[in-house]
Amino acid sequence: MKPVYMDNNATTSVAAEVLEAMLPYFHDLYGNPSSMHSFGGQVMREVRKAREQVAALLGASPEEIVFTSCGTESDNTAIRSALSSYPDKKHIVTSRVEHPAVRALCSHLATRGYRVTELPVDGEGRLDLEQYKRALTPDTAIVSLMWANNETGVIFPVEKAAEMARERNILFHTDAVQSVGKIPINLSKTAIDMLSLSGHKLHAPKGIGILYLRKGAKFSPFMLGGHQERGRRGGTEATPSIIGLGVAAELAHKKMEIENTFVKGLRDRLEKTILETIPNAKVNGDRQNRLPNTSNISFEFVEGEGILLMMDEFGICASSGSACTSGSLQPSHVLRAMGIPFTMAHGSIRFSLSVYNTEEEIDFVLEKLPPIIQTLRSMSPYWKVGAAQVCGEA
Amino acid sequence: MWDYTDKVKDHFLNPRNVGEIEKPDGVAEVGSIACGDALKFTFKLDENGKIREAKFKTFGCASAIASASAMTEMIKGMTVEEAAKVTNQDIANYLGGLPDEKMHCSVLGREALEKAISFYKGVPILSQEDKIVCECFGVTQKEIERAVRENRLSTVEEVTNYTKAGGGCGNCHPLIQEIIDSVLAQPSAAPAAMPKLSNIKKIKMIEETLEREIRPALKHDGGDIELVDVVGNRVMVATRGACSSCQASNLTLKNFVEVKLRELVSPDLMVEEVPA
């Protein structure tokens, strides 16, 4: 069964062009880019090209791009670097809805003598910039705010937030893992000092990431080793993956418009029709400022894992913020931070699309999903109450 | 993705006995929508006092639905007394096992059964001395003690997997640890309190016990033993080396091998020698 893959915020397929570009660098052109011989040197040139391709996507200079192993490494490097660069400052500002790569690190740092301010969000997942401004203090070493939320797709005003941090000489980091390639980014025009990117979210392979480091921003490396990446990240370059990420960045640049027209169209049709055909369903998150590919919908009185596994029977891949799928016993921290009621949070499903989805796939999901919700609701002891509410409203 | 058995998937995709019985003899509602698991269970007896019908409605994940479906299938035809003996481990075994993190779903099924039986008998279930330990999920001390005792749990994480207690804010972790310590400090209960083993677990434990405890001792005397088969509680073994020609080997089997296996695996085991 070919999967109907709508879980692109979890990971994406490696694009055919990306895979093709990578293959020679595993077996035939395996040289080390640091070597003196031309066999390695030719690979170095390809790495340089990839750096330029990534820089072009971000509106950065190539020397501001540091290759890492993943988004999590980039996040950890950025935050730890800021703290070692400003050893007298002991305060970190972040939000309640960050990815675990930032959140877990900040919770850890909170037990190591740092003060962490986790900014709340409103019911739509939005930040209050006034509150953010008040959180910035002379003791603040770094702000780390995600550009777009992985669960809801809600976009934070990071450009504005970065300016406010710069006015106070505070380093600003953003986890842009979900937004790169989906919304236009031009770092040369922003006050962002550091940015994390992950290859596998934009059709490059897993195991490759980027840390953007603004020229002139203070930096202290996390991975010590060889002189690779100008001493900013030790370790032999993952050449096939770097070359693949370069091609993926170029593709993302070209397809940004498709993402914001075609993909957005698919998402909007999926969402609109679900809301029309399934009662007691609601979109989570600010629908105005949102990634074009993401839709997080709650189905009241049912539980997300059941929905996912029933969709799985048809090959439909999505994810959920329910407790049963989170690995903990509580629903997603993002939905909880937004104050989504339990009756809704447990039944939340995230569809995240890509340029490789089709109209037919949307039709397929729209055909299969309503009976699934109906089946699960018929089993739910709470559904009678919900149905009565619908009748009352009608 | 959870590693569910085919039987869990079957009971999730084709749940048996969904619904609600009108005028039931026993009824129970356990869990809550806030906790992410809730189960409403009803049963009706026939004229002989056996459970004729059992139905459920569940809000919860696949394993919660499967556990409720399994439980209702298991108890049909049982008397109330028989049904009262069904443990959460029995429900999990019926489904071919559940992932550790999902054991609380089988506990929810057992709780509903127990509460419905109490309803039928007209006895209140929550005694005065009991108190809530986990505020997030409303789990009481008695519930935790019971899960620890019946499933031989030894860590807070295991208690969370089985009862959800401690899965929220984590404030009650020290208290849970205290409960574990105090239950484990009690002398081990009568053999009846030992958990019912699934066949796979039983065979594994028999093999391990033979390897670790028994074969080294026999080898010391120039003998050896081999596991041939396990049928129910009958453990079939073949003797090797010096044992196979030793007149006293039957005595060894009964006095040493069987005693060890009963002590370390299950008190119901019987060892039989079969030709190699």
Q: Residue B198 pLDDT > 80, yes or no? A: no
Taking contacts as CB-CB distances below 8 angstroms, the residues of chain A near B64 are: 303, 324
Cα–chain center distance at A189 = 22
Cβ contact, residue pair A322, B61, below 8 Å: yes
* CATH of the domain spanning A16-252: 3.40.640.10
End-to-end CA distance of chain B: 44
Cβ contact, residue pair A381, B13, below 8 Å: no
The model carries a pTM of: 0.81
Q: B268 pLDDT band (50/70/90 cuts)?
A: confident
Residues in A lying within 8 Å of B, measured between beta carbons: 301-306, 309-310, 313, 322-325, 327-331, 342-343, 346, 378-382
Distances A79 to A73, A217, B93 between C-alpha atoms, Å = 10, 13, 47
Which residue, among A183, A219, A185, A181, has the nearest Cα to A201 in the 3D structure?
A181
Residue-level length of chain A:
394
- What pLDDT score was predicted for residue A387? 52
**Partners of residue B226 on adjacent β-strands:** B238
Cβ contact, residue pair A324, B164, below 8 Å: no
Q: Which amino acid is at B25?
A: D
* CATH of the domain spanning B132-193: 1.10.10.1100
Cβ contact, residue pair A324, B61, below 8 Å: yes
Q: Which CATH architecture has domain A4-9+255-378?
A: Alpha-Beta Complex (3.90)
* CATH of the domain spanning B6-121: 3.90.1010.10
Give CA–CA dist A286/A292, Å, rounded.
12
Domain residue spans of chain A: 4-9+255-378, 16-252
Average pLDDT over residues A373-378: 94
Domain residue spans of chain B: 6-121, 132-193, 199-273
Strand runs labelled E in A160-305: 171-175, 194-198, 209-213, 281-283, 294-299
The answer to whether the beta carbons of residues B156 and B177 sit under 8 Å apart is yes
Task: Give the pLDDT confidence of A271-292 residue by residue, as tens digits.
Answer: 999 999 999 999 999 999 999 9
Q: B151 pLDDT band (50/70/90 cuts)?
A: confident
Angle formed by the axes of helices A71-85 and A100-110, nearest 10°: 30
Taking contacts as CB-CB distances below 8 angstroms, the residues of chain B near A330 are: 36, 136, 167-168
From B34, B57, B101, residue closest to A380, measured CB to CB = B57
CB contact B12 to A (< 8 Å): yes
From B2, B13, B59, residue closest to A303, measured CB to CB = B59
CB contact B57 to A (< 8 Å): yes
The answer to whether the beta carbons of residues A262 and A251 sit under 8 Å apart is no
- What pLDDT score was predicted for residue A49? 98
Q: A123 pLDDT band (50/70/90 cuts)?
A: very high
CATH value of B199-273 in 1.10.287.110, 3.30.70.580, 3.30.300.250, 3.30.300.130: 3.30.300.130
A302: nearest CA partner in chain B: B59
Q: Which amino acid is at A40?
A: G
* Catalytic residue ranges of B: 35, 105
The backbone torsions φ and ψ at residue B211, rounded to the nearest 5 degrees and listed phi first, read -60, -45
Q: B245 pLDDT band (50/70/90 cuts)?
A: low
Distances B275 to A388, B207, B244, B253 between C-alpha atoms, Å = 70, 19, 10, 14
Q: Look over chain A and give the mean of its residue pLDDT values, rounded to a whole number.
A: 94
Give CA–CA dist A298/A346, Å, rounded.
8
The answer to whether the beta carbons of residues A125 and A334 sit under 8 Å apart is yes
Give CA–CA dist B243/B215, Å, rounded.
11
Give CA–CA dist B235/A234, Å, rounded.
59
* DSSP result, B161-211: HHH-TTSSS-TTHHHHHHHHHHHHHSPP--GGGSPPPPHHHHHHHHHHHII
Taking contacts as CB-CB distances below 8 angstroms, the residues of chain A near B29 are: 381
Taking contacts as CB-CB distances below 8 angstroms, the residues of chain B near A325 are: 61
Q: What percent of chain A has pLDDT over 90?
A: 91
The residues, any chain, with a CB within 8 Å of residue A350's CB and separated by 6 or more, are A7, A9, A151, A152, A294, A295, A296, A297, A318, A319, A320, A321
Q: B192 pLDDT band (50/70/90 cuts)?
A: very low
Lowest mean pLDDT among A86-95, A178-187, B95-104, B229-238: B229-238
As for the ipTM of the complex, it is: 0.85
- What pLDDT score was predicted for residue B1? 75
B4-13 exposure pattern, b = at least 16 Cβ within 10 A, e = fewer: bbeebbbbbe
The residues, any chain, with a CB within 8 Å of residue A191's CB and separated by 6 or more, are A159, A162, A163, A165, A166, A172
B16: nearest CA partner in chain A: A379
- What pLDDT score was predicted for residue A392? 34
Helix, strand, coil percent content, chain B, rounded in steps of 5: 50, 20, 30
From B9, B40, B160, residue closest to A381, measured CB to CB = B40
Q: B127 pLDDT band (50/70/90 cuts)?
A: low
- What pLDDT score was predicted for residue A391? 37
Residue with structure tokens 């899965």? Answer: B167
Q: B196 pLDDT band (50/70/90 cuts)?
A: low
Q: Look over chain B and give the mean of its residue pLDDT values, rounded to a whole number.
A: 86
- What pLDDT score was predicted for residue B34? 74
* Catalytic residue ranges of A: 324
Lowest mean pLDDT among A150-154, A317-321, A349-353, A388-392: A388-392
Give CA–CA dist A164/A143, Å, rounded.
10
Q: Residue B194 pLDDT > 60, yes or no? A: no
* DSSP result, B227-271: EEEEETTEEEEEEEEGGGG-TTHHHHIIIIIIHHHHHHT-TT-EE
Q: Residue B155 pLDDT > 70, yes or no? A: yes
CB contact B189 to A (< 8 Å): no
Long-range contacts of the stretch A134-137 (C-beta < 8 A, 24+): A135/A93, A136/A93, A136/A164, A136/A165, A136/A168, A136/A170, A137/A91
Give CA–CA dist B23/A392, Å, rounded.
28
Q: Residue B209 pLDDT > 50, yes or no? A: yes
Q: Which amino acid is at A237?
A: E
Written as six digits, the tokens of A242 are 């770097």
What is the radius of gyration, based on Cα positions, of chain A? 22
**Partners of residue B134 on adjacent β-strands:** B139
Lowest mean pLDDT among A180-194, B9-23, B258-272: B258-272
Which residue, among B111, B198, B192, has the nearest Cα to B147 in the 3D structure?
B111
What is the radius of gyration, based on Cα positions, of chain B? 22
**Partners of residue A297 on adjacent β-strands:** A283, A349
